[in-house]
Structure 1
């Protein structure tokens, strides 16, 4: 990047604010500047770029085609700069900051509720948790580690296994009683809910239960387990859901487990971290704690049967 091609940041901020509000006056109010100062910064930017970003129409400003294109790119850059600045500021006064990428449902349904136990062990630690759905390059993204589901494969990283999914059939108590679900064969004739990334889960479950059916793939599909759990709790149908995702629903009776037949999928959850980076003490402690929590979960074989 050559310095001459990077406009002053104040000009970029003024341009983005004016474009978002469609007004120099409202941008000035947001930025605690005068209307004239905002207008001047935008003119300086236009002069630097050599293109007109706004059409001045009486008391209004309207983005030109070049302005719309520039706004699209600049807005993303400013958001990244803001995020990066906030993340760096989180290190102030402490080097015990964990930056971890998590899968959304895993983060909300498993990790977050257990974090107080880690905080008791490592009270100096603070957390920055961000959602990432796919593997990324640790040399580019500012993370100490990530939660990964699938095979233990991640370029440039080490994958430590945590646990497999134990998937169980659940429904609302009202749905179970209304349809008389007393044996695995009964699930062939009711609505079954599917998770789009586990398309053959019901087929595998029926096979394990020794139930023959040609309709294992029939039923609506959902992108997230949280949506499936909510649909099942509302009485739409029967769902196959990882047991650890619905601990609260099972405890409260919002969902009930139908049969003592669980399916363990071959893929597993892993904690991954960069292979070419020395782990800081807080990351080592977090990794060890995760493995302990995962081991305790594997030892917990308590079965929730229908009531």
Structure 2
């Protein structure tokens, strides 16, 4: 029995696993900080060592063979266990009080950071490293322990705690929506929008939620294609600034514009609409008992209950 053949090198296994997961040598190379040709050669070396074809090439795309899929099921699990074991070792020593947290940029600036001093008061040795992320978080490939994100709650292979339902409000400058809108922003019974009321306004969008205006119009029974859609923004904070500058009106989560509504920079003449999305705190199973994560999770869920 050739044990060398049965135990390929870690570099070959990492190249194979990343290629199988992405179905692309190019994306695997980006993840592993290698060239595309280097990853391709490593996979070819592994195939030669095993004497089995692991992929078939279809133009620029690669597809795992039956043998490749079976091998990926075992190798992927084994590598995940190795990563988990390494994380546990780190968590047991110097990294036990460090949490690498991804958060949505505007949520982080508007909600999380103003409250974070409360966490540090309770846990003075805790260190939260904040990383801004708009795109979907991949705990298998990114050096992150947890994330605060928004979505429908369906993420594979993660634990998810629902924090808030997303309540969208239409915001505009007092000049754009008129003084009547400014007077109505704190009223208990707000007027329902009409196409006529919105006619001529530029509807600004956040690129990560392209269906926001359709959902909002559907709540009020308005034909959304009758309205004029304007520019889109990657960051909600940029959209808010564009609205304050009078470029148009926008739909944003209420919690992110409370200050601007109170000081009169913005007004919101219509009732809030609950969207199809919610805010969640998510993390992979492997860090469930990480000391820093446990401390942050307990604080976050209590802070969310107090603010909610």
Q: Structure 2 residue aligned with 1:239, among 250, 256, 273?
A: 250
What are the within-5 Å matches in structure 2 for residues 1-307 of structure 1? 95-177=96-178, 183=191, 184-185=193-194, 186-212=197-223, 214-216=225-227, 218-259=229-270, 261-298=271-308
Give the drift of 1:264: 1.1
Aligned partners of 2:249, 2:257: CA distance in 1, in Å? 14
Aligned partners of 2:222, 2:134: CA distance in 1, in Å? 34
Which residue matches 1:82?
none
Which residue matches 2:47?
none
Give the drift of 1:125: 1.1
Contact between 2:202 and 2:228, CA under 8 Å: does it hold in 1? no
Contact between 1:196 and 1:223, CA under 8 Å: does it hold in 2? yes
Aligned partners of 1:269, 1:158: CA distance in 2, in Å? 13
Aligned partners of 2:149, 2:122: CA distance in 1, in Å? 24
TM-score with structure 2 setting the length:
0.60
Say if 1:278 and 1:294 are closer, same or farther in 2 by CA, change over 3 A.
Answer: closer
Which residue matches 1:16?
none
Deviation per residue, 1:39-82 (Å, 9 max, x gap):
xxxxxxxxxxxxxxxxxxxxxxxxxxxxxxxxx979xxxxxxxx
Aligned partners of 1:148, 1:172: CA distance in 2, in Å? 28
Q: Secondary structure at the match of 2:227?
A: coil
Deviation per residue, 1:187-217 (Å, 9 max, x gap):
2332221222222322332332344564235
Contact between 1:195 and 1:221, CA under 8 Å: does it hold in 2? yes
Give the drift of 1:290: 1.5
TM-score with structure 1 setting the length:
0.61
Aligned partners of 2:217, 2:199: CA distance in 1, in Å? 9
Structure 2 gaps of 5+ residues are 1-8, 11-32, 36-91, 185-190
Moved more, 249-258 or 147-156: 147-156
Q: Secondary structure at the match of 2:257?
A: helix
Aligned partners of 2:273, 2:203: CA distance in 1, in Å? 16
> Which entry has the higher C-alpha Rg, 1 or 2?
1
Residue correspondences, number: 216
Compute the RMSD of aligned alpha carbons: 3.3
Contact between 1:168 and 1:241, CA under 8 Å: does it hold in 2? yes
Structure 1 gaps of 5+ residues are 3-71, 75-90, 299-307
Aligned partners of 2:307, 2:232: CA distance in 1, in Å? 28
Aligned partners of 1:170, 1:275: CA distance in 2, in Å? 39
Contact between 2:181 and 2:267, CA under 8 Å: does it hold in 1? no
Q: Secondary structure at the match of 1:283?
A: helix
Which residue matches 2:68?
none
Say if 1:178 and 1:236 are closer, same or farther in 2 by CA, change over 3 A.
Answer: farther
Aligned partners of 1:134, 1:211: CA distance in 2, in Å? 30
Give the drift of 1:296: 3.0
